[in-house]
Amino acid sequence: MTNPFAPELLAWYEQVAAELPWRGSDDAYRVWLSEIMLQQTQVETVKPYYARFLAAYPTVEALAAAPLDDVLKQWEGLGYYSRARYLHRAAQVVVSDYGGRFPATADELQKLPGIGRYTAGAVASIAFGARAPVLDGNVIRVFSRLLDLPDDVTLPATRTKLWQTAEDWLPETRVGDYNQSLMDLGRLICKPRAPLCGGCPVRAHCLAFQRGTQHQRPVKTPRAETPHYDVTAGLIWNERGQLLIAQRPLDGLLGGLWEFPGGKQEPGETRTECLKRELREELAIEVSVGDLYARVRHAFTHFKITLHAYTCRYVSGEPQALGVRAWAWVMPDALDAYSFGKADRQVIAEMRARRAMLL
């Protein structure tokens, strides 16, 4: 099946293609790094992270040789931290199994940790010119409008059909440019809420535009409401003016990041009880819980939390890493060397604001 709109799309791409830091290089390492960062993350958010990361790790060998904790620190704030772990592991596999050179086909790339079908197609086509399709949120939206697709795009069966369409429409040449032009079109023109159909280079081929249904595409089932949890955290001081911090397990939420120890409040439990229980379970220590120091709200994808941070005094028990990966006593000024999630960073910002007021 020949692509009905590729010439117009590519011509548009040459005119308006955004200058992006990861474009203009076919270095597979750079393409791969950008694609991992861009998973579920907008272009503008990625730009500063990409520049810093590349400066810290200019080659896949440098990344493979780095400690994971350093990589996580570079990733701090970007979210979906499993990406950083897989990135690190994949770099080590590329160095050890492939002599530091990325495999050039989508099938081989997809065997690497953190590379699924989308990223495999993106790297293969952009870095190696392979004839492999991509299907991301942008492309799903563009295709659902071009086809005026009434199917629910959140359903796996619909995704399968869309992947097939992506494959069917793949041009013979310039596949990397074509894939990127499709994503640029989705990002800049074929926007979710208010598509700029007047400036669309392929509107002559768009069934939804012809029928005026572009605002009803894509069809998706709304997301379930997110629950709210109350979470406690201890600002535990020792006599040397140090704070106790703990590193979360590698698996799960905020994996590998540091935090002020604590946890989710259970039904029928006061916050003081919750905090003392969590500190016993995770670190085997006893503290006296003092005043509420800060209250912070934060939204994750699947739930919201209110984080209640209490000033605590360390009482007894050498900390043990029972439910955490590691622990450390650190001076407040040394906190920046560790990676924290956004909620704990808000608590740290509050500490600094209050200290600044005192000076």
Partner DNA sequence: AATACGGGGTT
Partner DNA sequence: AACCCAGTATT
Which parts of this chain interact with DNA (CB under 7 A)?
A: 20, 22-23, 34-35, 38-45, 77-82, 86, 113-120, 122, 136-138, 140-141, 155-157, 180, 183-184, 186-187, 191-194, 220, 222-223, 225, 252-255, 298-302, 341-343
DSSP 8-state secondary structure symbol assigned to residue 316 = E
Residue 190 C-beta: closest distance to DNA, Å: 9
> What minimum distance in Å lies between the beta carbon of 317 and DNA?
27
Q: Which residue type sits at 238? A: N
Pick 145 or 276: Cβ nearer DNA: 145
Minimum distance of DNA from residue 72's CB (angstroms): 10
Q: Among residues 8, 14, 19, 35, which one is catalytic?
A: 35
Where does residue 80 fall: left (phi above 0), alpha (psi -120 to 50 degrees), or beta otherwise?
left
Min. distance of Cβ 105 from DNA in angstroms?
15
Residues 330 and 242: beta-carbon distance below 8 Å? yes
Name the DSSP class of 215: G
Q: What angle do CA 38, 222, 165 make, to 5 degrees?
A: 55
Return the CA Rg of the chain: 24
For the question of residue 35 being annotated catalytic, the response is yes
CB 232: neighbour CB atoms within 10 A? 28
> Is the CB of residue 9 less than 8 Å from the CB of residue 182?
yes
Write out the H or E segment, with its range, that includes residue 231: strand 228-237
- Mapped onto helix, strand or coil, the DSSP state of residue 284 is coil
Please identify, using beta-carbon distances, which residue of 78 and 289 lies nearer to DNA.
78
Q: How far is the CB of 343 from DNA (least distance, A)?
A: 6
Q: How many residues does the chain have?
A: 359
Closest CA to 259 of 322, 353, 341, 349: 341
> How far is residue 207's CA from residue 223's CA, in Å, rounded to a whole number?
27
Nearer to DNA, 278 or 314 (CB): 278
User: 133 or 319, CB closer to DNA?
Assistant: 133
State the minimum distance, in angstroms, from the CB of residue 284 to DNA.
23
When the beta carbons of 191 and 352 are compared against DNA, the nearer one is: 191
Cα separation, 26 vs 175, whole angstroms: 13
Which H or E element spans position 164? helix 156-168
Please list the active-site residues. 35
